[in-house]
């Protein structure tokens, strides 16, 4: 697809995300915690996640019937990374926040064309904020162009992260990194939705975000947002593509090397 086609598609994807977000918002008003299931240790899912994903999958299939799907809840069937187009979906990123009534959660949708991210949409449900990016076409929040922060150093930066909830094998090096970031930055925040963390890096609200043991559907759309807003995204120790590698640093670019220098001694 060319830029014009991808841009048109991105607007349609944003509408699908908003439709799912409207359903989530309606359910939040009367949500019953008794309808929560556990997929694993501290890994919860609700009927809201599953129904939101069905809404998203149905909408995207209508737009691009030939595409494969990688989804968190598996409602589209087994993960299928197609040769040409693949959707990567988190229908409710921030499930724990949602279940506890903390109003920070999102719908995340990305499209890969071959091995490249070409469309990314993150819809923040409670603030009704749509973040949208197209490869080569820039990044937007509610259709206003966004750029990463111009803060030059970590000492002038607000950094976000996520805490591991199932794999604690590297908790000690992670806590070591966290202490260093607490010392070297304006502060560290844990929002509870990686998709929102990345969207807020793209919008210049955070200077950087880092997390490990993370999934492709948590970060795919946000990675494109950050890159199209002028930022940089890598793995912890190298420039390899972080979509499927379960660790990520995303930043405004200026503070990226500083972050890698802090992380390296704990992660090597």
CA distances from 156 to 184, 236, 259 (A): 9, 21, 13
Residues 108, 259, 210: CA angle, nearest 5 degrees = 25
Residue 257 is assigned to a ligand binding site: no
Residue 93 is assigned to a ligand binding site: yes
Residue 247 is assigned to a ligand binding site: no
Q: Name the residue with tokens 């499927």.
A: 244
CA distances from 26 to 34, 89, 98 (A): 17, 20, 12
Residue 172 is assigned to a ligand binding site: no
Residues 230, 235, 238: CA angle, nearest 5 degrees = 95
How far is Cα 101 from Cα 202, in angstroms, rounded to an integer?
Answer: 26
Count CB-CB contacts under 10 A for residue 132: 29
Residue 197 is assigned to a ligand binding site: no
Contact indicator for 250, 198 with CB cutoff of 8 Å = yes
Which positions make up the binding site for Mg(2+)?
72, 90, 92-93, 218
Which positions make up the binding site?
72, 90, 92-93, 218
């Amino acid at each position: 697809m060319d830029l014009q086609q991808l841009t048109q598609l991105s607007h349609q994807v944003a509408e699908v995300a908003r439709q799912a977000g409207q359903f989530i918002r309606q359910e939040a008003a009367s949500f019953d915690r008794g309808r929560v299931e556990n997929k694993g240790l501290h890994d919860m899912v609700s009927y809201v996640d599953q129904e939101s994903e069905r809404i998203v999958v149905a909408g995207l299939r209508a737009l691009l019937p030939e595409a494969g799907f990688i989804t968190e809840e598996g409602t589209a069937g087994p993960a299928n990374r197609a040769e040409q187009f693949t959707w990567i979906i988190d229908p409710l990123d921030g499930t724990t926040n949602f279940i506890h009534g903390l109003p920070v959660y999102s719908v995340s949708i990305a499209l890969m064309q071959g091995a490249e991210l070409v469309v990314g949409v993150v819809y923040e449900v409670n603030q009704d904020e749509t973040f949208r990016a197209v490869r080569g076409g820039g990044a937007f929040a509610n259709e206003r162009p966004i750029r990463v922060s111009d803060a030059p150093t970590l000492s002038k930066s607000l950094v976000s992260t996520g805490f591991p909830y199932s794999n604690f094998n590297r908790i000690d090096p992670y806590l070591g990194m966290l202490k260093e970031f607490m010392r070297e930055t304006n502060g560290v925040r844990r929002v509870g939705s990686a998709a929102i963390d990345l969207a807020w890096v793209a919008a210049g609200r955070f200077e950087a975000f880092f997390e490990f043991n993370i999934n492709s559907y948590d970060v795919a759309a946000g990675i494109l947002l950050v890159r199209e807003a002028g930022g940089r995204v890598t793995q912890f120790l190298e420039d390899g593509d972080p979509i499927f590698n379960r660790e990520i640093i995303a930043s405004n670019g200026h503070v990226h090397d500083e972050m890698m220098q802090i992380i390296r001694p704990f992660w090597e």
